[in-house]
Amino acid sequence: MTTNDWNAADSGTFKIGGELSVHRLGYGSMQLTGKGVWGDPKDPDEAVRVLQRAVELGVNFIDTADSYGPFVAEQLIRKALHPYKDDLVIATKAGLTRSGPNDWRPVGRPEYLRQQAELSLRHLGLERIDLFQLHRIDPKVPLEEQLGELEKLRQEGKIRYIGLSEVSVDELREANKITPIASVQNLYNLSNRQSEELLNEAEKNNIAFIPWFPLATGKLAQEGGPLDEISKRLNAQPAQVALAWLLRRSPVVLPIPGTSTVSHLEQNVQAVELKLSDEDFETLNQLK
């Protein structure tokens, strides 16, 4: 693979909600925080450089959440990139509270979701959030109340599109009866495809599918295995091949690989150069 003339724009485009165009290879900001997704990063200056370099490399879709830090990632995004480029789309999430490192608890009370949306607007320096995602469905609160509040915020012009995270096909269908859902964000990668049915549902309805933890390869990358063989033949890293597979898997897939270093970011974006043959793609499809 070459080290120049590569750009996230080469990953293709997708229109969130049928209107909001983004380059399919985005960036996820969770790793810009401290250990356990808690507190400030070890190197705040490098975090700023990562975000700025991402945009330089054509990334115009950045995913974050109020709970990353909490608020650390959103504030870093504003510090690094505000005032924002006209084509930059920032997606954030609310619905998970934090009481310490690696501790995540769903809260979907309408007043809480509204409060967090208002705080995200302030922390990001936005008048409207392009994509606001319910980070988790709170089982203690009726779904129509959770999404009903987000719909009110949408009607007020404070958010543009509504998304969901970690949901089933049935939950997506139920949610769509309450308000239009523009995106779903579930764990999905080459080695974990439990959300395959949801991806198929999203593709059928032109809903953005945002796989989190997209670089995971697990045992598939072991020496001598098919992924290892394909990676070496393409002169690429296994994670780059995993990204290339995701981008080819479906036109609605928007991978958001995250990293805290510029060098790793550049390696991830280089994955757009990889062109998997039909044979390699089918081989990867069979790896589970």
Q: What is the pLDDT of residues 222-267, one digit of tens each?
A: 888 889 999 999 999 999 999 999 999 999 999 999 999 999 999 9
- Domain of residue 127, CATH code: 3.20.20.100
The per-residue b/e assignment along 7-32, b for 16 or more CB within 10 angstroms, e otherwise, is ebebbeebebbeebebbbbbbbbbbb
275 in a structural domain: no
How high is the pLDDT of residue 222?
87
Query: For the chain, what is the mean pLDDT?
Result: 96
pLDDT category, 128, cuts 50, 70, 90?
very high
230 in a structural domain: no
270 in a structural domain: no
Given a contact cutoff of 8 angstroms between Cβ atoms, the answer to whether 164 and 181 are in contact is yes
Q: How many structural domains is the chain composed of?
A: 1
Please say if the pLDDT value at position 283 is more than 60. Answer: yes
Residue in 27, 68, 161, 188 annotated catalytic: 68
Catalytic annotation on 68?
yes
Helix (H) or strand (E) holding 97: strand 96-97
130 in a structural domain: yes
285 in a structural domain: no
- With tokens 């290892």, the residue in question is 228
Alpha-carbon span 28 to 274, nearest angstrom = 21
How high is the pLDDT of residue 1?
41
- With tokens 């469905």, the residue in question is 137
187 in a structural domain: yes
Across 105-129, average pLDDT: 98
226 in a structural domain: no
Across 197-219, average pLDDT: 95
269 in a structural domain: no
Which domain, by its residues, includes 187?
11-216+249-259
How high is the pLDDT of residue 2?
41
Please say if the pLDDT value at position 140 is more than 70. Answer: yes
- Per-residue pLDDT of 11-49, as tens digits, reads 999 999 999 999 999 999 999 999 999 999 999 999 999
How high is the pLDDT of residue 242?
95
pLDDT category, 219, cuts 50, 70, 90?
confident
How high is the pLDDT of residue 218?
83
- CA distances, 23 to each of 58, 87, 175, 212, 256 (Å): 8, 10, 26, 16, 11
Alpha-carbon span 245 to 166, nearest angstrom = 21
Given a contact cutoff of 8 angstroms between Cβ atoms, the answer to whether 104 and 76 are in contact is no
Alpha-carbon span 89 to 111, nearest angstrom = 25
Antiparallel, parallel or unpaired: β 183-185 and 208-209: parallel
